[in-house]
Amino acid sequence: MTRIALVTGGMGGLGEAICIKLAALDYKVVTTYSPGNTKAADWRANMREMGFDFYCYPCDVGDFDSAQQCVTAVEKDIGPIDILINNAGITRDMTFRKMDKLNWDEVMRTNLDSLFNMCKPVCDGMVERGWGRIINISSVNAQKGAFGQVNYSAAKAGMHGFTKALALEVARKGVTVNTISPGYIGTKMVKAIPSDVLETKILPQIPMGRLGKPEEVAGLIAYLSSDEAAFLTGANIAINGGQHMS
């Protein structure tokens, strides 16, 4: 039986690597993109040229109704969602002194409220079928904090509280819920950091002395999505090159 995986925010960066990895393992892969994203069709066409035919749906993950409509459409068109990977996220970095309510709310809405919005319409179906995987993408900065990221660190830390509580509720039903906390990964966004900052401020914090690869994180997610990971739930797995050990 072919499993159906839904990856939020899968167009580009880590999300794209996750989609490619799962597709290569013969999952049916669905990804969401922000409504109004004018590059979505081009991205899908590029992926097709690479041999990956992804299903793509618009969804504002921070809006409950939009998430409900997205899941309903996916289940009608493709089938029930077996694996949910909550990857979509944003940053609005500034010191707390300068942070306003709008920039707090936007990060909380997209990074934390989205877990409720996306899990709510899929979790009951997973429980009824006796199999499911929910994987929440947090951050090393949720574990150790980061200057200028009070909003982001709080939202990403809240993810794991959500993970642990939901994992307890569905553990007997064959559904696992886990968090992963990546460090600095070599996505376009991270590589856009000025080279002097990368070389003097970031890489010295990483014992391995390099950025992580999106494919390395995608490999971990592939394992957590598998049957072999059935006894692993409620965990927060750090994948950060040794930058933060807990």
Known catalytic residues are 152
Question: Within the chain, where are the H helices?
Answer: 13-24, 40-49, 64-77, 101-108, 114-129, 140-144, 150-170, 188-191, 195-197, 214-224
| The pair of three-digit structure tokens given for residue 46, joined into one six-digit string | 């590029």
| The pair of three-digit structure tokens given for residue 213, joined into one six-digit string | 């690869």
Give φ, ψ of 135 to 5 degrees.
-130, 120
- DSSP letter string over 129-163? HT-EEEEEE--HHHHH--TT-HHHHHHHHHHHHHH
Buried b or exposed e, range 97-107, using 16+ CB within 10 angstroms? eebeeebbeeb
Packed helices 114-129 and 64-77: angle between N→C axes, nearest 10 degrees: 40
